[in-house]
Chains A and B, each alone.
Chain A
Amino acid sequence: MWEYLVSLPVLGLALMLQVAIFSRLNLLYGSADLLLIVVAAWSLQERVRSAWVWCVLAGLLVGYVSGLPWFVPLVGYLLVTGLAAFLRQRVWQAPLLAMFIVCFIGTLVMQTLAFVVLRLLGDPLAFDQSFSLIILPSVLLNLFIGMLVYPLLRNLAAQFHPEEVD
């Protein structure tokens, strides 16, 4: 129950940090997506049951704040959570590796989805420019920040689901 209740303040804080700080920290023209990282890290926690709720909430929050169509972050985060759930069952012995993979593929998928939707809406975005100046730097930033955020979320998850001692 608590992991559901805590989702709003945690994601709200992450959104504020994203809008105020992380969106301004650019590598070339890319920036990190803290909400995606939080959703990915939370979804990879073993005993967590609220991953899909966190994902939908994060998607709606970003969809409300961002100029992107509201469904783009929602669909992107759903895909990230699905990928994390898939990997959690297979690479459970190497959570950091799983986090690495989810951040990498998740960011690629999320940013490509945003690119495609914006192109369909008529924005004059060039793929090669977008890929080299925005998508790849964003992936790099997310990989780096993901390694820092994952332990925080693991500790948070441990608060709600302490490991059983045999």
Chain B
Amino acid sequence: MKKFTPRSLQTIIIVLVSVGLVAMALGGFFNTATSRVGQFIVNAQTWISIRYVAVVDFLTVPRDVASLRQRNTELEAEVARLQTQVIELQERVTETEVLSALVDFARANPVNTYKAATIVGRDPSPFLRYVIINVGSNDGIRTGMPVVNDRGLVGRVDAVAAEAARVQLITDPASQVNVRLQGSNTDALLIGSVTGDLSLDMISQDANVPVGEVVLTSGLGGGFPPNILVGQVLSIRKLDYELFQQATVQPVVDFNQVQFVLVIINFRPVDITPLIPSQAP
């Protein structure tokens, strides 16, 4: 039979103490101590981790800045490209809206046949209010044809080349258009000016013309088709000692902004010059 040696006794004691400690730990007797130790370890781990990441960042930052700068440049280029695209699309939308309005106008006035044109320039002389359009005799344009847009009367073709034509605006100082005041059913003469303002002359003294009266082409003289909108009466000047009343007109067309026009190509102006009696010598 074996004897218990002191070494065996020591082992047994150690095992019992260990079991006791485990049992006490499982029983929750060491919670406070373990949590404090754990907290300490976590804090230490966090401290080390942060420093490590900082060192790694420090070592790798230059490469990242370069790549970020490159990426930033790429994105800036992309933004610029997209902004250009947005502007182009906005211009197209505006252009489409204008063209759509012209198409609506043409549909609303099916009696006439239209040829759309773009204004590509203005007369070099500041005394004249002419514009150059990008259609000419090759497109069936002839001298004297009326030019309108979706709002109203613009002018008439003054000269024609093969691929372009010159249009005299109704605001030109030399322009004269026979018009009719819609409400009062009175004829008048619309004339342009150096400043581009429109005025009415030859209004009968008997006519009662209110402000806001609509001005339409009358068709008299054969220069323009009747009933094309021109504008509205802005103010009237009536003096007893004058033969006729005068009025200023607010045109419906913004002549500084107009870009697209329609030429009425089925209208042939009538030359009434031979019918005007010459003055006796």
Instruction: Tell me if chain B binds chain A.
Output: yes
Given the interface contacts A66-B128, A122-B174, A130-B127, does A29 sit within 8 Å of B121 by beta carbon? no
Given the interface contacts A67-B158, A129-B195, A130-B194, does A33 sit within 8 Å of B124 by beta carbon? yes
Chain A contacts for B128, CB-based, 8 A: 66-68, 118
Q: Would you call B222 an interface residue if the criterion is a C-beta within 8 Å of the partner chain's C-beta atoms?
A: no
A29 adjacent to B132 (CB under 8 Å): no
Compute how far the CA of A22 lies from the CA of B125 in the bound complex, rounded to whole angstroms. 10
A24 adjacent to B122 (CB under 8 Å): yes
Interface of chain B: mostly helix, strand, loop or mixed: loop
A138 adjacent to B124 (CB under 8 Å): no
A67 adjacent to B159 (CB under 8 Å): yes
What distance in Å separates the Cβ of A67 from its nearest Cβ neighbour in chain B? 4
- Interface positions, chain A 1-56, Cβ under 8 Å from B, are 15-16, 18-20, 22-24, 26, 29-31, 33, 35
Report A48-80 CB contacts with B as 1/0, cut-off 8 Å: 000000000000001001111000010000000
Chain B contacts for A130, CB-based, 8 A: 127, 194
Chain A contacts for B209, CB-based, 8 A: none
A-B contacts, 25 of them at CB < 8 A, read: A19-B120, A19-B123, A19-B132, A23-B123, A24-B122, A26-B126, A31-B124, A35-B124, A62-B124, A65-B166, A67-B158, A67-B166, A67-B168, A68-B123, A68-B128, A73-B124, A114-B125, A114-B127, A118-B127, A118-B173, A124-B173, A129-B194, A133-B194, A134-B126, A134-B127
**Could you list which residues of chain B lie within 8 angstroms of chain A, going by C-beta atoms?**
120-128, 130, 132, 158-159, 166, 168, 172-174, 191, 193-196
